[in-house]
Structure 1
């Protein structure tokens, strides 16, 4: 028997299937009935002669959370379309949306729980998994956790999660950690996602979140490294809005900034190829131009008391001469930083022509409404939070915050209470046990680590390996494959060799290859799961995944796995999870909140939520207009808000204003200065700082997302592989984009096999000449290079970019600096 046959059992035996399903047969029957309401039955549209049933679900290919209609005939899913009644999808899907059937019917899926029998771990080690029952699997985890708790070592258990969907899965994890007693339950993936953008907003407008956007009414977009037409969230709706914005009158004009020509830049009015890590310099120059030329929004920002513009290049301004409205520290920012940040200066830093900087600044400053949007291309650097603050400050200067055609923040969902109150189930150990003295393994929130970060997932593996501040014992993963996605994942491989590893993925990924226990989740077409929207248009919305079919194999929804483990923990914690009962009971209680807050589509309880697949309630409740903030009164934005209300609900900074001088950063100035070496007099302002580029090479390496990237779930889908890199023509691999001039200087021909090196590793891959990439930069999507994941994913070129990416992070935001490593490239003879 080969490794794949051992790793992925080809089928569940009849005897085991009957054993596994005997206890759940009745529940599965009810689930099948719930997922196939008679009102949705239609004539057959697929072979087999049975009726076709349409089930409401939520796409899982990216964070967008588009509503989907799943077509099932004779018990088999055969089509997926956008839900016409879902505000994000509007009956449409992106290129990867219909590929859910490939995930559901992936032949390499795990068929049930398994345990490792080979104690050796490594890339070339066969785990020699053997099937076990769910009872044995869950009890194995519970016994291990109970033993750690008995020894006063519960802090040595960590639970890592990636894309958390809602209250019935990731929403359960914080309570689990509180009741069990571990600072490491949970640790999220946000530092390896986009915490840089979140922290930049927290520093300036007080909201540690992603923006929602009113694209429909926007007239100018300035895009910094966000892959707007490749992977920006919500991707499907973004494409719909692009079509609207570019055909309405007046047409929304677009300037896009990136390091290579991509779909977004090609479709924009102006494309600016910027030197990696210098986006903040460009933003500072645009701010400088807006102020010098008097283009700021005076009703939001304020004005000179005598109406005479005193912002002159290179000259300071008397602070008392300017009367601020909804901003704080503008003149100080000008005096300490902006006065010298001319377009000419920025041209030298960014390598963008001065005339293009001036044209962009003039258009952005004179077109209303306008938005500046940024993501990892701008903030995944050592100076990332400063870049993000500078870019977001442009939105304040032109008055786009909470304005029509501008940006806002997502409202929460009025869920009902959980079935039980966790605070009533805390024992003495949970309240004051020895685990309280230990910091998190990633040193998040620790003065010697990352005091202001939300998460530091990239540090978990390396810290445990080094015993800093201690070694973990047991680690569990949900929707996370950090051993592959983390920079310098080689350290994770070594760390996991020492730990008891529990993986819950439905697929044989790299983490699973290192696992001691496999507790496979359902795929998303088999789950009952809530999914509140990511920031969209501001008004609250939450979706529900309804299973299209019974689970194909002996898998279990992660939310129920957590509840079942919780029931087996000794003491009152076990009683709490018995009170929760199961994930469906949790969802039914959450839906009770809709009774007092029915959705615009009539959803008022669990059954109607299940039928429609989505609850939402318009409009967004607040709007800033001409420098005044208004609240919706049931008919329009008529009720003027007080400054205190604005501070509590919208601009949540210490001053209740947009802060060019960040009170949040200023409160931690001593720590920031000691850890970063920044000047205490200016560290709280958006300012220019040269980024640090580790790696030891002479070329920047950038690994952007592409349209077919499915957050780690597309690597084993042949259709996604064949269409992944349409510009470069890749069919069975990803090509490394290299400028012809750069390649010829190194004796590299188009299509050559090359070696990429940094100080942490080496990978190989084939290059493709592309004049649309900067001469100092290599570009290739982070998608391939798997050494597991399934038959189509394994061994696909090029090697994984993480193996040559140095583990460096922004010390303030904790953002992993994916795009900062410099490498060398050479032809392999």
Structure 2
């Protein structure tokens, strides 16, 4: 059977396509008989009504405000909201894709159940339509049965992009009331946990940074892809135009990556680094900043007599340096930095020593400056160390909470939930046998990943191996792990054993292994809150308002979770009955705005719905002249005490930026045992050679590109045709290879090739590109689907995940997507 059309009745099709009314007008739809000429006359005279609805783009994490234009009930245009601080009336190339997603003919049309017990790529699920009542009752029955048997830990809920309190925010409470350590497990370890945990080790926060780009005079970017896919991409392009075209002096930019992309091409200095060696470059930059006396003394501190004793290869007496807002600088120097010269880094990174020295001097003298990084730097076995070394540069130049520097995002002034979950906790939830069970991914476990936030990439393999146990039921929200996890073939085997519930609106790979489909609305059909991802630090939250009624028999995921909760026996069911629905939740959140109105006048649910965004400027913290200060309503005049700084800004044991990480030091025994690192060095940013599995001789890197659309672009022809900006593509994306590397292997330009690792092989087409390192092959990650829809299926190159080894940084849990080595040969 054709699973893409399952559940689409003739009536539903007519409603969705807008033809039901027209057919009814001519007597074919069950209405009053009307002649064709009369219908045409009525259509000619009936005025069209255009409505503009506030919503939020869903193509990346940026949360750009959008104006959705609907005429006669059909969405026909999407523009950036002029009064939204991120979009400012603009959108990136992905922004208009919402109409394609809404009207994607391959969407699931309603809840369905599997009739074919066999699962596999070549197995037709045999989906048949069912009612929402049957679907929700089926899930609740399984969950109640597990709870009755004391096996509630065998239920896992996995999610990808969480948006707000009305979706992902409901999941933790669901897990605590139901009784499962596996509700919920996020995808952050397969995204950028390497970034936030590297930062946590030094500043105690553990989050993404917000940035004051407009006032920065230099950006040093490691693997960021600022003009390709770094959040918020739309605003990045806007601020780039200001920094590079309007601002005086123009912001200087050095970009570090493994190939020439749009960001490197637009930068003042492009450094094509050897994969996994970003930390060595950062250490050498720190070495230069210290030896040449370029550090920011009001933040870092100074020698008591003002004489710089940081000399290459020489130790320093810690008692001679008086630290201000950092801890352990001299210890770091003595243990690691004193020998990390530009000459040393040049050998490790394959960069020129002169470029390393010039970068260090420019970064150390061009205040304010920011060092930022993403998984190009931290998606390796040494990722936490690379990230720490880069983040430490911001401390050396005093960028934390400074004008033109970086900070952390403040949250919105939400009101409380309709009811308190604590009042609905029964004895099973408080003391049940599930409390003794570890998480299936072994996050937080001494035998697994003690310090990680999530380890979603381990869920499938661990359940399959029964380590620490086998799951029974798994539910997915905005994640497709067969596709997104490395070595997804293992997930295919794991899901064959489990009862799988998928909530995606689209027929992705994981959905093809599902036993139940409970399809979510697309984002133009949802009412959904979404606090901003880190942006400029001041608090902001957006609201998705449905532009049209749901086209099909779908249901917002948050309401699906509430409806399942209502069906769980005991107090938990009463809690979700009290919540009622997600609109009730959102209305209660909005009550917080009554006492803290937004700058745009938003003070309740109705005004939030009208404006689409609530925000409060300015950012209230600022580092000025060696002090941390708070906003008094007119200026930064309120000096913060050390205790206040510790509570709000540096949440470390010392209340300072710890170049000697107390958090890592407190876990030194475990880290040394599990990673083999020297106990004397593991608490410092230091150099460690990365481990590159796979068995090949070339690094394989699969960066995101501007049209990636977080996986939803795979079935959109307009996105596919423009996916690869450097080499073009249209029908495929090309594997970038250096011409010399290709010729050595007898590979002609544009020919079909095979990429192989220890896990298997995939095929695709290559293109010569001198902007690619000779030791590295590069291709975008969007193609290679065997499901997802008619335009996504069977499109070369094959899926990179099938040859990516499942290796993770033991400290951060970061999945090492960019570290597998492969072989390439003519196909």
* TM range, smaller chain: over 0.9
Question: What 5-or-longer segments of structure 1 have no aligned partner?
Answer: 19-45
SS at match of 1:799: coil
The worse-fitting range, judged by mean Cα deviation, of 345-354 and 757-766 is 757-766
Query: How far apart, in 2, do the equivalents of 1:503 and 1:712 lie?
Result: 16
Tell me the equivalent position of 2:9: 12
Query: How far apart, in 2, do the equivalents of 1:732 and 1:455 lie?
Result: 36
Are 1:770 and 2:774 counterparts?
no
Question: What 5-or-longer segments of structure 2 have no aligned partner?
Answer: 16-43
Tell me the equivalent position of 1:514: 513
Tell me the equivalent position of 1:469: 468
Q: How many equivalent pairs are there?
A: 798
Query: How far apart, in 1, do the equivalents of 2:179 and 2:205 lie?
Result: 29
Query: How far apart, in 1, do the equivalents of 2:625 and 2:174 lie?
Result: 47
Tell me the equivalent position of 1:28: none
Query: How far apart, in 1, do the equivalents of 2:794 and 2:105 lie?
Result: 18
Query: How far apart, in 2, do the equivalents of 1:313 and 1:726 lie?
Result: 43
Query: How far apart, in 1, do the equivalents of 2:279 and 2:547 lie?
Result: 47
SS at match of 2:719: helix
| Contact 1:301/1:324, CA 8 A, preserved across alignment | yes
Tell me the equivalent position of 1:312: 311
Are 1:499 and 2:498 counterparts?
yes
What does 1:167-246 correspond to in 2, within 5 Å?
Answer: 167-246=165-244
Query: How far apart, in 1, do the equivalents of 2:238 and 2:203 lie?
Result: 29
Are 1:326 and 2:321 counterparts?
no
| Residue deviations 1:479-509 (CA, integer Å, cap 9, x gap) | 0001111000000000000000000000000
Query: How far apart, in 1, do the equivalents of 2:477 and 2:46 lie?
Result: 37
| Residue deviations 1:749-798 (CA, integer Å, cap 9, x gap) | 00111111111121000100000000000100110100000000001110
Query: How far apart, in 2, do the equivalents of 1:660 and 1:691 lie?
Result: 21
Judging changes above 3 Å, is the alpha-carbon distance between structure 1 residues 333 and 15 closer, same or farther for their aligned structure 2 residues? closer
Tell me the equivalent position of 1:161: 159
Query: How far apart, in 1, do the equivalents of 2:223 and 2:649 lie?
Result: 26
Kindly state the Cα deviation for residue 821 of structure 1 after the two structures are TM-superposed: 0.2
Query: How far apart, in 2, do the equivalents of 1:690 and 1:770 lie?
Result: 28
Kindly state the Cα deviation for residue 66 of structure 1 after the two structures are TM-superposed: 0.1
Tell me the equivalent position of 1:139: 137
Kindly state the Cα deviation for residue 13 of structure 1 after the two structures are TM-superposed: 4.3
SS at match of 1:510: coil
Query: How far apart, in 2, do the equivalents of 1:436 and 1:591 lie?
Result: 34
Kindly state the Cα deviation for residue 627 of structure 1 after the two structures are TM-superposed: 1.6
Tell me the equivalent position of 1:642: 641
Tell me the equivalent position of 1:26: none
| Residue deviations 1:118-161 (CA, integer Å, cap 9, x gap) | 00100010001000000000000000100110111100000000
Judging changes above 3 Å, is the alpha-carbon distance between structure 1 residues 47 and 778 closer, same or farther for their aligned structure 2 residues? farther
Tell me the equivalent position of 1:92: 90
SS at match of 2:236: helix
Query: How far apart, in 2, do the equivalents of 1:778 and 1:372 lie?
Result: 26
| Residue deviations 1:218-254 (CA, integer Å, cap 9, x gap) | 0000000011100000110011010001121000000
Tell me the equivalent position of 1:113: 111
Tell me the equivalent position of 1:668: 667
| Residue deviations 1:649-695 (CA, integer Å, cap 9, x gap) | 00111101111000000010000000000011110000000000000
SS at match of 1:727: coil
Q: TM-score with structure 1 length normalisation?
A: 0.95
Kindly state the Cα deviation for residue 412 of structure 1 after the two structures are TM-superposed: 1.0
Kindly state the Cα deviation for residue 348 of structure 1 after the two structures are TM-superposed: 0.2
Are 1:272 and 2:271 counterparts?
yes
| Contact 1:214/1:405, CA 8 A, preserved across alignment | yes
SS at match of 2:410: coil
| Contact 1:48/1:74, CA 8 A, preserved across alignment | no
Query: How far apart, in 2, do the equivalents of 1:612 and 1:274 lie?
Result: 45
Judging changes above 3 Å, is the alpha-carbon distance between structure 1 residues 310 and 575 closer, same or farther for their aligned structure 2 residues? same
Q: TM-score with structure 2 length normalisation?
A: 0.96
Query: How far apart, in 1, do the equivalents of 2:5 and 2:206 lie?
Result: 41
Kindly state the Cα deviation for residue 634 of structure 1 after the two structures are TM-superposed: 1.1
SS at match of 2:714: coil
Tell me the equivalent position of 1:793: 792
Kindly state the Cα deviation for residue 8 of structure 1 after the two structures are TM-superposed: 2.9
Query: How far apart, in 2, do the equivalents of 1:761 and 1:789 lie?
Result: 22
Tell me the equivalent position of 1:294: 293
| Contact 2:7/2:110, CA 8 A, preserved across alignment | no
| Contact 1:439/1:446, CA 8 A, preserved across alignment | yes
Kindly state the Cα deviation for residue 736 of structure 1 after the two structures are TM-superposed: 0.3
Q: CA RMSD in A?
A: 1.2
| Contact 1:7/1:127, CA 8 A, preserved across alignment | no
Query: How far apart, in 2, do the equivalents of 1:130 and 1:47 lie?
Result: 43
| Contact 1:12/1:553, CA 8 A, preserved across alignment | no
Tell me the equivalent position of 2:822: 823
Kindly state the Cα deviation for residue 726 of structure 1 after the two structures are TM-superposed: 2.4
Tell me the equivalent position of 2:33: none
Tell me the equivalent position of 1:548: 547
Query: How far apart, in 2, do the equivalents of 1:569 and 1:271 lie?
Result: 57
Tell me the equivalent position of 2:28: none
| Contact 2:12/2:552, CA 8 A, preserved across alignment | no
SS at match of 2:144: helix
Judging changes above 3 Å, is the alpha-carbon distance between structure 1 residues 48 and 440 closer, same or farther for their aligned structure 2 residues? farther
Kindly state the Cα deviation for residue 49 of structure 1 after the two structures are TM-superposed: 4.0
Query: How far apart, in 1, do the equivalents of 2:316 and 2:812 lie?
Result: 31
Judging changes above 3 Å, is the alpha-carbon distance between structure 1 residues 16 and 572 closer, same or farther for their aligned structure 2 residues? farther
Query: How far apart, in 2, do the equivalents of 1:622 and 1:726 lie?
Result: 39
| Residue deviations 1:519-540 (CA, integer Å, cap 9, x gap) | 0000000000000000000000
Kindly state the Cα deviation for residue 14 of structure 1 after the two structures are TM-superposed: 3.4
Kindly state the Cα deviation for residue 341 of structure 1 after the two structures are TM-superposed: 0.2
Kindly state the Cα deviation for residue 458 of structure 1 after the two structures are TM-superposed: 0.3
What does 1:23-102 correspond to in 2, within 5 Å?
Answer: 49-102=47-100
What does 1:403-552 correspond to in 2, within 5 Å?
Answer: 403-552=402-551
Query: How far apart, in 1, do the equivalents of 2:216 and 2:501 lie?
Result: 47
Kindly state the Cα deviation for residue 15 of structure 1 after the two structures are TM-superposed: 8.8
Query: How far apart, in 2, do the equivalents of 1:699 and 1:745 lie?
Result: 13
| Contact 2:507/2:787, CA 8 A, preserved across alignment | yes
SS at match of 1:142: helix
Tell me the equivalent position of 1:282: 281
Query: How far apart, in 2, do the equivalents of 1:408 and 1:12 lie?
Result: 52
Tell me the equivalent position of 1:577: 576
Tell me the equivalent position of 1:617: 616
Query: How far apart, in 2, do the equivalents of 1:270 and 1:588 lie?
Result: 49
Query: How far apart, in 1, do the equivalents of 2:557 and 2:495 lie?
Result: 21
Query: How far apart, in 2, do the equivalents of 1:234 and 1:8 lie?
Result: 35
Judging changes above 3 Å, is the alpha-carbon distance between structure 1 residues 48 and 688 closer, same or farther for their aligned structure 2 residues? farther
Kindly state the Cα deviation for residue 101 of structure 1 after the two structures are TM-superposed: 0.2
| Contact 1:721/1:731, CA 8 A, preserved across alignment | yes
Are 1:354 and 2:357 counterparts?
no
| Contact 2:7/2:129, CA 8 A, preserved across alignment | no
Tell me the equivalent position of 1:696: 695
| Residue deviations 1:390-446 (CA, integer Å, cap 9, x gap) | 000000000000000000000011110101100110111101111111100000000
Tell me the equivalent position of 1:398: 397
SS at match of 1:715: helix
Tell me the equivalent position of 1:123: 121
SS at match of 1:187: strand
Tell me the equivalent position of 1:340: 339
Query: How far apart, in 1, do the equivalents of 2:655 and 2:816 lie?
Result: 31
Query: How far apart, in 2, do the equivalents of 1:427 and 1:493 lie?
Result: 36
Query: How far apart, in 2, do the equivalents of 1:8 and 1:188 lie?
Result: 31
Query: How far apart, in 2, do the equivalents of 1:453 and 1:603 lie?
Result: 38
What does 1:695-774 correspond to in 2, within 5 Å?
Answer: 695-774=694-773
Kindly state the Cα deviation for residue 9 of structure 1 after the two structures are TM-superposed: 2.3
SS at match of 1:222: strand
Judging changes above 3 Å, is the alpha-carbon distance between structure 1 residues 404 and 612 closer, same or farther for their aligned structure 2 residues? same
